[in-house]
Amino acid sequence: MPTFLRELIHPAAELSAADVCLVGLPIDFGTVLEGGRAGAAGAPAAIRRELRRYHKTYNLEHDISLDNLRIADAGNLALRHPDHAQNHAHIRERLGQLLRQYPRVVVLGGSHDGTYSTVRGLWDANDGQPVGGINFDAHADVKDKPEISSGTPFGRLLREGFLPGERFTEIGLHSNLNTREDIEFLHRQQAHIVPLAHVQEGGMELYVGHALQRATTAGPAFVSFDIDGCAEAFAPAVSAPSADGFTPRQAVEAAFLAGQKEAVRLFEIVELNPLYDRDNQTARLAATIITAYLTGVAGQLKS
């Protein structure tokens, strides 16, 4: 029986049918456009390293074995085109292909602008029907700007009709990192907002449960976890670190709950910036969050 998670991961070329497919988005241009620090393009390699060397296939807390989970790895997308829009067109096309082939895709990112096109890929795979979603983040990322940047993905998806506001929830927004205009926009879209303070007071399970119910009520959904939503003490290697934020326990709980929902077909970790990591601390947290999602998937498949 396999002991380590790495024993379950095989190249997608060798595993045309699987429960989950991993894919890397080595991009950081969208973050640089927002004045953030470059380096997130190295995230997929850093996360894979920790996934392969650190985690075992048995989860003690939930008494769940991942032994029978089939995990394909589609590698990294080639995103070096000088035209940023062309990179996004490739993300959308390839994610659409993977989501037609596999029931779930886990994205290793990469700047948050990638979500604009991963979600459109999910929309394509859902035959052009709107999808639901959750963003775990310190920032709303709904700016109305002409360029595709890390501050714009959800605003674009909402404005362009790919994401109905009533099926979208922002969880963990920080008190002084979002503008009144952005929050008012979300209210106009009938999106749901859970400030970080509410999570700290009421617990993650309560709010994630409601958000997942909304997101999956009428079809497939995505969960995008921006690791800069975690406090800098736990996640120093991000594009935009903050002193306050989620704890690792909260992040793991959220990911596990997402994995338990069959309709969550797209799960992302974004904005890891390994150039600023210390002893791989943030990359290991990202891998731990992904492992929690995979554990939820394994539990759901077993039930």
Residue-wise pLDDT tens digits, 55-93: 999 999 999 999 999 999 999 999 999 999 999 999 999
Let me know if 165 is exposed, middle or buried by CB neighbors in 10 A (0-12, 13-18, 19+): middle
Residue with tokens 């890929």: 121
How far is the CA of 134 from the CAs of 46, 97, 140, 141, 166, in angstroms?
24, 22, 11, 12, 11
Q: How far apart are CA 208 and CA 250, in angstroms?
A: 10
pLDDT, mean of residues 143-156? 96
Which pLDDT value is given to residue 1?
83
- CA atoms of 299 and 69, how far apart (whole Å): 10
Does 239 score more than 90 pLDDT? no
User: Residue 31: is its pLDDT beyond 80?
Assistant: yes
Q: Look up residue 75 and give its two tokens.
A: 């590698």
Q: Kindly tell me if the per-residue pLDDT of 187 is higher than 90.
A: yes
Cα 122 to its chain centre, rounded Å, is 13
Q: What is the average pLDDT score of the chain?
A: 96
Take residue 96 and report the two structure tokens written for it. Answer: 């659409």
Q: Is the pLDDT of residue 303 over 90?
A: no
What is the rounded distance in angstroms from the CA atom of residue 35 to the CA atom of residue 13? 38
Task: Give the percent of the chain with pLDDT over 90.
Answer: 94
Instruction: Please compute the mean of the pLDDT values over residues 233-247 and round it to a whole number.
Output: 95
Task: Return the pLDDT at 35.
Answer: 87
**Predicted local distance difference test score (pLDDT) of residue 54:** 81
Tell me what the mean pLDDT of segment 212-227 comes to: 97
Q: What angle do CA 266, 154, 30 make, to 5 degrees?
A: 90
Q: Is the pLDDT of residue 165 over 90?
A: yes
Report pTM: 0.97
For residue 184, the model assigns a pLDDT of: 98
pLDDT, tens only, 4-13:
999 999 999 9
Q: Is 247 helix (H, G, I), strand (E, B) or coil?
A: coil
Q: Which of 30-39, 114-123, 151-160, 194-203 has the lowest mean pLDDT?
A: 30-39
pLDDT value, residue 166? 98
Section 258-268 average pLDDT: 98
3-class SS of residue 102? coil
Q: Measure the CA–CA gap between 246 and 136, rounded to whole angstroms.
A: 9
